[in-house]
Structure 1
Amino acid sequence: MTALTHPFAAPARAESAGAADRPRWERPAFLGLLAATALLYLVDLSSSGWANSFYSAAVQAGSRSWKAFFFGSSDAANFITVDKPPASLWPMELSVRLFGLNSWAILVPQALMGVATVAVLYAAVRRRFGAAAGLIAGGVLALTPVATLMFRFNNPDAMLALLLVCAIYATQRALEAGRTKWLVAAGALIGFAFLVKTLQAFLVLPALALVYAFLAPVRVRRRVWQLALATAALVVAGGWWVAIVQLTPAADRPYVGGSQHNSFLELTFGYNGFGRLDGSETGSVGGGGTGGGAGPGGGKGFSMWGSTGITRLFGSDMGGQISWLLPAALILLVAGVVLTWRAKRTDTERQAFLLWGGALLTTAAVFSYMAGIFHPYYNIALAPYIGAVVGMGAVTLWRRRSSPWAAGTLALAVAVSAWWAFELLGRTPDWLPWLRWAVLLLGLAAALGLAFTGRIAMRVLTVTAVTGGLVAALAGPAAYAVDTVSTGHTGSLPSAGPAQMGGMGFPGGGARGAHGGKGGAGGFGGFPGGGGTGKAPGGTGTAVRGGMPGGFPGGGTGGFPGAGGGQGGKAPSGGGALSGKGGKGGKGQMGGMGGAMGGLLDGTKVSSAVKSALSKDASSYTWVAATVGSQNQASYQLATQDPVMAIGGFNGSDPAPTLAEFEKMVSEHKIHYFIAGGMGSGGTEGAKSTGGTGAFGQAMGVTTDTPSQITAWVEAHYTAKKVGDTTLYDLTAPRAS
């Protein structure tokens, strides 16, 4: 067997190796990886339906209106945008224009982005460390549970992951010989990624810029000039759309959703920017901010969105999503840097470790300590970096296994991975209970074998140890990934794998999508599924006292108000601003929330009778209906495929439209119906404290009570009509005075 045909052998010059230099097994193995990834991400894809209906409705709008396509509007009549830039919507909208509006047309582009991300990661790692390292990196990424989830979902994170992996690959190419075009390409990719998820795209910038500034194989003056060009490319690629939006008169474009002053720059640096770091994002659900003392899970603090601190990514809500190989990645990153530290300044292996490792550390640090809105699925951003570091580090140590230090470190990484998988699987004790012990025993045996492979020249031992180590490391996340594929996921807070003990337990955020699932002891009190065996919708779970800083107004001890839970009871104690006695919830269905958390987690099941009523004479109106909150709006819009106005945007907290503007649109017969309920609507069917100037509204940083004003005005001037469980107000037929 020649050096190049050995699976773990290093190519003499990986970046220039042609097809003739590659071993015969490499191409079939690579194509097999892509085929398996495609199968994992595409099988039964339609089981998630509209997935996140908030984005699906925007896709529907963009498929009908090019103006909605450009601005990222929630509806084809262009009242308000989603609370992100529109780039992630564009592939889905083009797909729907070609293939029609259906689940497959929306989700297949996301799955293909996942396959492409695995391919680019493989190519990047292979150039430095060979095919085996690339295959390990791609396999780790493909089987990371949160990656499996989000590449089958329609949130922006799939495109963001692809673009940032491409940017790091381009930076690697630039570092090979100080190539300006590749560095400019990296800048342009990060700039375009800004149009996917704003400032999160910049988390990799410190690593990329510093590595190139100090380690590129060209003179300092040229490095400075190249970085300046790359920065210019970033600004142009990300700024052209922002400039158009900011320069377009407000009357000629939709309201910028998620902002309080109709400004995309405010959205970027506030709600979607620095507010996420300190918890001060205005208009968010519950706000952020950290409390004193140690938070749950051993973190340094606590926010509405969980514990913050160095242990956050290993906690009950995040661990099963991303952390399976995170300890091993950290061990292998340190080992890789130590082994290459004394190499020449332009050493390509050290550059790679610093690029991927730097991206991992900066992103993980921000995720660990940000006090604002943070959901477990954000962790998909870490998956490619973990995969790269694990692939590079494992192969680097294997090639040096004759050294007891290298062999011992590799064995340590495998043993730690097996132990941590054992711990994570212990959080789901009733789910495949045999797996955790099998992984632990196999991993420890493989680690023992790896520790001695450098000194005992036995092919059987070597093959057994390597195979056992890979299986032990990947069995846990692979099982979670398969479980994720077997279950449909809907709503705004999806999570991968089976329901875990100690999870937050948001309905729609558990492993079972909108139906919640089994909650974990020690989770967030007051949320269905947050403790005991609460279910959503309409659960009867037991709230964990003190888990939340007080209960949501209108929140019962079981399901959310309006989630089919009926009357709300007393909120769990906690002493926070959100505590208090629950009000009466609305009657939403299938996760369609009225009252306190209406519209946040999932949409509403629209009956055929309601659909028929809204569709009647639809062409005579700009909007067939208006309702509070984008999730409720999305459900009605997807059912009718006609524009529905989302009053107050996603959370019902945006001051759009004002009461005067709404009255004017009604007088001009632009809106046919008002649909009662929805987040922050107030009124007789919702919790009045939400979205207004009460305790919850103040916690959100919102000073307007526009949704409540509009609801009260409609109730005062129009007659309610029950269509099934839905209350409609015909805005073309005012009540006789």
Structure 2
Amino acid sequence: MTTQTAHRTGLATLLLGTAVLYLWGLGSSGWANSFYAAAVQAGSESWKAFFFGSSDAASSITVDKTPLSLWPMVLSVKAFGLSSWSILVPQALEGVAAVALLHASVRRTTGSAAAGLLAGAVLALTPVAVLMFRFDNPDAMLVLLLVGSAYATQRAVEATSVRWLALGGALVGLAFLTKMLQAFLVLPALALVYLLFAALPWRRRVLHLLVAFGSMVLAGGWWLAIVELWPAASRPYIGGSQDNSILELTLGYNGFGRLTGDETGSVGGGGGWGSTGLLRMFDSEIGGQVAWLLPAALFLGVAALWFARGRGPVTAGATLWLGWLVVTGLTFSLMAGIFHAYYTVALAPAVAALVAIGAHTLWQRRDALPVSGVLAFTTAFTTSLSFVLLDRAGDWHPWLKYVVATLGFAAALMLAGVRHLPRRVGHVVAATAIVAGLAGPTAYSLATAATPHTGSIPTAGPTGSTGTGGTRGPGGAAGGLLNGSTPGATLTAMLTSDASGWTWVAAAVGSNSAAGYQLASQEPVMAIGGFNGSDPSPTLAQFQTYVADGQIHYFIASGDGMGGPGGGMGGGPSAGGGTSSEIATWVAASFEAQTVDGVTVYDLSSGVV
């Protein structure tokens, strides 16, 4: 078998294995995050809802993100019908594409097919990557686009090509349309690499970067400009904002508020999102998601910079991915606002690339004592960290940490003296070190793929959350802040009966409560107050007008206990406060309550009591 054939076989095996890991049993997660699944369903019914990212086909309010990540899922639903598979398969394919792009990037950096395959494998087997590429959050598309931007920037440096650099900028702009300001965390690394390593006069480099900046603004700004200029009366309310402004959402709730914790409309913030600090990525909540090889990525990345001095592609590649890792990692570690463990999927490509680039670069120089020492130390440290992370899983396969420790420490000892070993033995030792390093995250990844995940805050690993919220009643669940409702058959039949006569077949406080009813009935359900129930949309006066005009059939009480008169199941409608609470109070005082499938429902067509 030729070297080229072996590489093609390895790449095909990597991508096929990744596809199997990301697709196997995918339907077991149902709607996954029903908040986004409902918006996908809405977009498949209405091009207006598609464009704005509306929560319902009647476009009462949008999700609290820009909508690009929804569009592939919507097109899939249009082509294949609404199902868990049609929503989630595009996400899995985005993961396979990200692995392929990272492989290509690292192969170009090192000139080694093996290094490219190692990078792809590390990304594919990072637990939080397995989680998010099997889920319908925006993070899957975000990672794909940002890996693409890094690849394009690398090509721009190699060819001193403004076209490649403009493509990199455009991909960051599209990433902005996926998850807003988080996309910009990679910009310092991309700009620095081109400034330092492009073989052009300084002024030309700056000019090219300005072109790339313009490309980014065009790719990411056209949608914002249209939404900002569109008359507010004829578009949905901008979910997540407090004044119906996409700019406020961009710069506030999804922007600087995430850093400072000053997030109007948030349900937490500050200390409510875990302790900040330099070790945040290793704590009990986040460590098992992404931390397995994070120190190794830093050690090997810095060592690659040191030992590869004068080698342009390796130095440029290590600089790019170290910049990505350091800026993103520090931001996640120190941000005081909304932070969830699954955000760390944005670190996975940088970790994977640095491990592969560093391992390859040092392996080529393993006959030098300092290099073999770094390899041995990195292997020992990674083994120790894996032991700690596996030990946190309690009685979940307790033998695994001892296997990892045995293999890892044995490989570390052998690597310290690898320059004295025969070539073939050295390769066996290197393979053993890789197996020891990947055993923990692989086990967590397999457990993640085998576990259904639903709700708004999923986590990877054997103790991964399957979602919270929603008090379950007989035959159904009203849903809550973090989990979608699951209506029973009787309530679903009520919603679908004579549905064409109503703009919204129902209204409920909070997007997750509304989402389950909408997905079950495939009819528009108004999400009062948006995700948290705290957005001032609609106002009480607007809601009363909708009811008077015969546009809303039912009001369904929430079951999340967020407050409001008689909050919870079987009482009055609960609400997130503000206008939501006003609407809930008015409904409870004006209409007769009934219990259907364990859920409190108000028929708004029956007239005021």
Counterpart mapping for 1:548-559 below 5 A: none
Larger RCO, structure (CA 8 Å, separation 6 or more): 2
CA 1:98–1:717 in 2, change beyond 3 Å: closer, same or farther?
Answer: same
The letter of the residue matching 1:189 is L
Which of 485, 491, 495 aligns to 1:604? It is: 485
State the SS of the aligned residue for 1:238. helix
In structure 1, what is the equivalent of residue 564 of structure 2? 682
Encode CA deviations 1:44-92: one digit per residue, 9 max, x unaligned.
0001000000000000000000000000000000000000000000000
In structure 1, what is the equivalent of residue 471 of structure 2? 563
Q: Does 1:205 align with 2:113?
A: no
Asked whether the 8 Å contact 1:333–1:389 carries over to 2, the reply is yes
Counterpart mapping for 1:98-109 below 5 A: 98-109=79-90
Q: Does 1:216 align with 2:213?
A: no
Which of 634, 637, 655 aligns to 2:536? It is: 655
State the SS of the aligned residue for 2:266. coil
Asked whether the 8 Å contact 2:487–2:597 carries over to 1, the reply is no
CA 1:653–1:678 in 2, change beyond 3 Å: closer, same or farther?
Answer: farther
Residue 40 of structure 1: how far off its partner (Å): 0.3
d(CA) in 2 for partners of 1:116, 1:589: 41
Q: Does 1:335 align with 2:303?
A: yes
State the SS of the aligned residue for 1:85. coil
In structure 2, what is the equivalent of residue 640 of structure 1? 521
In structure 2, what is the equivalent of residue 90 of structure 1? 71
Counterpart mapping for 1:392-407 below 5 A: 392-407=357-372
Q: Does 1:691 align with 2:564?
A: no
In structure 2, what is the equivalent of residue 539 of structure 1? none
Asked whether the 8 Å contact 2:119–2:355 carries over to 1, the reply is yes
d(CA) in 1 for partners of 2:195, 2:455: 43
State the SS of the aligned residue for 1:672. strand
The letter of the residue matching 2:233 is A
Residue 683 of structure 1: how far off its partner (Å): 1.8
In structure 2, what is the equivalent of residue 30 of structure 1? 11
d(CA) in 2 for partners of 1:372, 1:383: 21
Residue 462 of structure 1: how far off its partner (Å): 1.3
Counterpart mapping for 1:515-530 below 5 A: none
Residue 590 of structure 1: how far off its partner (Å): 7.4
In structure 2, what is the equivalent of residue 454 of structure 1? 419
Residue 337 of structure 1: how far off its partner (Å): 1.4
Encode CA deviations 1:627-673: one digit per residue, 9 max, x unaligned.
10000100000010000000000000000000000000100000000
The letter of the residue matching 1:218 is L
Residue 592 of structure 1: how far off its partner (Å): 4.5
Q: Does 1:496 align with 2:460?
A: yes
d(CA) in 2 for partners of 1:712, 1:285: 21
CA 1:604–1:447 in 2, change beyond 3 Å: closer, same or farther?
Answer: same
Asked whether the 8 Å contact 2:258–2:337 carries over to 1, the reply is yes
State the SS of the aligned residue for 2:420. coil
In structure 1, what is the equivalent of residue 98 of structure 2? 117
Residue 591 of structure 1: how far off its partner (Å): 6.9
Encode CA deviations 1:557-615: one digit per residue, 9 max, x unaligned.
xxx7x624xxxxxxxxxxxxxxxxxxxxxx5987744xxxxx22211220000001111
The letter of the residue matching 1:243 is A
Asked whether the 8 Å contact 1:563–1:590 carries over to 2, the reply is no
In structure 1, what is the equivalent of residue 503 of structure 2? 622
Residue 735 of structure 1: how far off its partner (Å): 3.6
CA 1:134–1:590 in 2, change beyond 3 Å: closer, same or farther?
Answer: farther
State the SS of the aligned residue for 1:613. helix
Q: Does 1:60 align with 2:25?
A: no
Asked whether the 8 Å contact 1:277–1:372 carries over to 2, the reply is yes
d(CA) in 2 for partners of 1:589, 1:410: 58
Aligned-residue CA RMSD (Å): 1.6
Which of 252, 276, 279 aligns to 1:308? It is: 276
In structure 2, what is the equivalent of residue 444 of structure 1? 409
Which of 707, 711, 716 aligns to 2:580? It is: 707
d(CA) in 2 for partners of 1:512, 1:210: 38
d(CA) in 1 for partners of 2:342, 2:37: 18
State the SS of the aligned residue for 2:527. strand
Asked whether the 8 Å contact 2:509–2:575 carries over to 1, the reply is no
d(CA) in 2 for partners of 1:231, 1:334: 28
Counterpart mapping for 1:266-305 below 5 A: 266-286=248-268, 288-289=269-270, 303-305=271-273
In structure 2, what is the equivalent of residue 263 of structure 1? 245
Residue 447 of structure 1: how far off its partner (Å): 1.1
The letter of the residue matching 2:450 is S
Which of 296, 300, 320 aligns to 1:355? It is: 320
d(CA) in 2 for partners of 1:478, 1:135: 15
State the SS of the aligned residue for 1:304. helix
Q: Does 1:671 align with 2:552?
A: yes
CA 1:478–1:200 in 2, change beyond 3 Å: closer, same or farther?
Answer: same
d(CA) in 1 for partners of 2:524, 2:63: 14
d(CA) in 2 for partners of 1:386, 1:458: 28
CA 1:382–1:141 in 2, change beyond 3 Å: closer, same or farther?
Answer: same
Asked whether the 8 Å contact 2:65–2:180 carries over to 1, the reply is yes
Residue 452 of structure 1: how far off its partner (Å): 1.5
d(CA) in 2 for partners of 1:167, 1:618: 45
Residue 349 of structure 1: how far off its partner (Å): 1.2
After the TM superposition, which of the residue ranges 140-149 and 725-734 deviates more from structure 2? 725-734
d(CA) in 2 for partners of 1:611, 1:282: 34
CA 1:689–1:513 in 2, change beyond 3 Å: closer, same or farther?
Answer: closer
CA 1:643–1:85 in 2, change beyond 3 Å: closer, same or farther?
Answer: same
Residue 512 of structure 1: how far off its partner (Å): 4.6
Residue 413 of structure 1: how far off its partner (Å): 1.2
In structure 1, what is the equivalent of residue 137 of structure 2? 155
Encode CA deviations 1:112-163: one digit per residue, 9 max, x unaligned.
0000000000000001211111011000000000000100000000000000
Encode CA deviations 1:318-337: one digit per residue, 9 max, x unaligned.
00000000011111011011
Q: Does 1:247 align with 2:128?
A: no
Asked whether the 8 Å contact 2:240–2:249 carries over to 1, the reply is yes
Residue 177 of structure 1: how far off its partner (Å): 2.5
Q: Does 1:723 align with 2:596?
A: yes
Counterpart mapping for 1:349-498 below 5 A: 349-457=314-422, 459=424, 461-498=425-462
In structure 2, what is the equivalent of residue 40 of structure 1? 21
Asked whether the 8 Å contact 1:86–1:196 carries over to 2, the reply is yes
Point out the structure with the larger helix share: 2
Q: Does 1:513 align with 2:466?
A: yes
Asked whether the 8 Å contact 1:308–1:369 carries over to 2, the reply is yes
d(CA) in 2 for partners of 1:615, 1:227: 54
State the SS of the aligned residue for 1:307. coil
Q: Does 1:180 align with 2:162?
A: yes
d(CA) in 1 for partners of 2:330, 2:60: 37
Encode CA deviations 1:6-50: one digit per residue, 9 max, x unaligned.
xxxxxxxxxxxxxx9x53311100110001000000000001000
Q: Does 1:146 align with 2:128?
A: yes
After the TM superposition, which of the residue ranges 77-86 and 209-218 deviates more from structure 2? 209-218
The letter of the residue matching 2:368 is S
Which of 196, 208, 211 aligns to 1:229? It is: 211
CA 1:92–1:353 in 2, change beyond 3 Å: closer, same or farther?
Answer: same
Residue 722 of structure 1: how far off its partner (Å): 1.1
After the TM superposition, which of the residue ranges 666-675 and 212-221 deviates more from structure 2? 212-221
Asked whether the 8 Å contact 1:630–1:651 carries over to 2, the reply is yes
Residue 463 of structure 1: how far off its partner (Å): 2.9
5+ unaligned residues in a row in structure 2: which ranges?
A: none
Asked whether the 8 Å contact 1:563–1:589 carries over to 2, the reply is no
